[in-house]
Structure 1
Amino acid sequence: MDLDTRIRTSFNRQGMLVTLGASLTRVAPGEIEIEVPIRPEVSQQQGYAHGALPFAIGDSAAGYAAVTLLDAESDVVTSEMAIHYLAPGVGDRLVARGSVIKPGKRMLVTQADVYAVTGTEERHIARLTGTMVRVPLRQD
């Protein structure tokens, strides 16, 4: 199975991302892009995207970026993830761009930048950095 198909197959099994209406818009070695619409169901009391939304797609983008560098029998789990919120999530959708900072045999240091998008205008709203740990791919 090629890289794009392998990542998309795994992504489509992510119940939370499916529930959020997220889509995988870019797959490349060490890089992933995920988009999600900002809907009332994922907002906070002031109408902004709830902070959990950029965290969820940023964590997933960073994790899948790590997976793109692994063999087909490996997956990752998040060991730790920090987020810095830079601005409110206001717009039509959020875009998370994940990448690998430092690949390792067991642990991979990753990051993701999240943008709120309105039309063609992007506003940087969050940066995540974290560590992913390689685990065997679960075959259920």
Structure 2
Amino acid sequence: MTFKTHGDYATRARASFARQAMMTTLGAQIADVAPGQVRLTLPFNPDLTQQHGFMHAGAITSVLDTAAGFAAYTLMPEDAAVLTVELKSSLLRPAAGVRFHITGQVVKPGRTIIFTEATAMAEDGQGVHTEIARLSASMMVVQGRAFRG
């Protein structure tokens, strides 16, 4: 699918992501930015585990939501942003791995609402990637408000 972009969307997305204190705290980083798609990485962190030693669903869901949101953000004009208005996270397997690869993508762009999806893959350290979670989300286009972009 071909998407319409505005200006230097990749630089804007990277700059906005860099201002997200939550993603810095989690250790998430941008791996790639393309029109309607963002790929993030998240290293395993024992400080972000639940009682069984797996990465906590809250951490994984937060990064899934961010990947989906930034996928939508790549399609925004320079004076617009997005906010999540609805999401559903499905946890398919325990979040066990040395690193997680999260891809967010736009399913259907719109003037007011953008439909997105994201997937999380766990990397086991041997090069094997296993899908552990999926998210579907609706992003609201926000214009005319003072955002830190």
Whether the TM-score (by the shorter chain) exceeds 0.5 is yes
Which structure 1 segments of 5+ residues have no match? none
Unaligned 5+ segments in structure 2 are: 1-6
Q: Relative to total residues, which structure has the larger strand share, 1 or 2?
A: 1
Match of 1:122 in 2: 129
Distance 2:12 2:138 in 1: 21
Q: Does the 8 Å contact 2:67/2:104 carry over to 1?
A: yes
SS in 2 for 1:71: coil
Aligned twin of 1:90: 96
**2:44 aligns to what?**
38
> Which residue does the alignment assign to 2:3?
none
- 1:107 pairs with 2:113: yes
Report runs of 4+ in structure 1 exceeding 2 Å deviation.
136-140
Give the Cα separation in 1 of the matches to 2:135 and 2:112: 20
Aligned Cα root-mean-square deviation (Å): 1.2
Contact 2:68–2:104 under 8 Å retained in 1: yes
Q: TM-score, normalised by structure 2?
A: 0.90
Q: Distance in 1 between matches of 2:107 and 2:98?
A: 29
| Pair 1:138-2:146 in alignment | yes
TM-score relative to the length of structure 1:
0.96
Q: Once the 2 structures are TM-superposed, how far is the Cα of residue 138 of structure 1 from its aligned partner? A: 2.8
